[in-house]
Amino acid sequence: MKPQRENLKRVIVDFKKLTPEILGLLVEKYPFGYEKEHIIKFKNAKGESVEAVEVIAGDTKYLVKVSVKLEMTMENYDEDDYADYDDDDPDAVQAPSMDDDY
């Protein structure tokens, strides 16, 4: 019998589709940011290499593509910023300004 975690639905999430719920779960799992050893590398359906970090919610394993935007958004996370949005609203998480020294 397979462990329960093997039966999870897998969803690849790009920054553009990141929701407040998934962002909150990422910050909770990686409160000091993710490290190299947390990154999972795999090929998507198109055969392209993808790097992602994983977070599990309910029956779903989210594989969130890593990017500078994701790192900056996690660093500056404040759950109050998303209080007026639904947890599943992908328009709530806005790309950070890339004008900073990153």
- Residue 31 has a pLDDT of 93
Mean pLDDT by 10 residues, the chain (102 residues): 68 93 95 94 91 95 94 91 90 80 48
**pLDDT at position 45:** 87
Q: What is the pLDDT of residue 102?
A: 45
* Residue that the structure tokens 């290499």 belong to: 49
What pLDDT, on the 0 to 100 scale, is given for residue 64? 96
**pLDDT on residue 100:** 52
State the pLDDT at residue 1: 42
pLDDT given for residue 44 in this prediction? 86
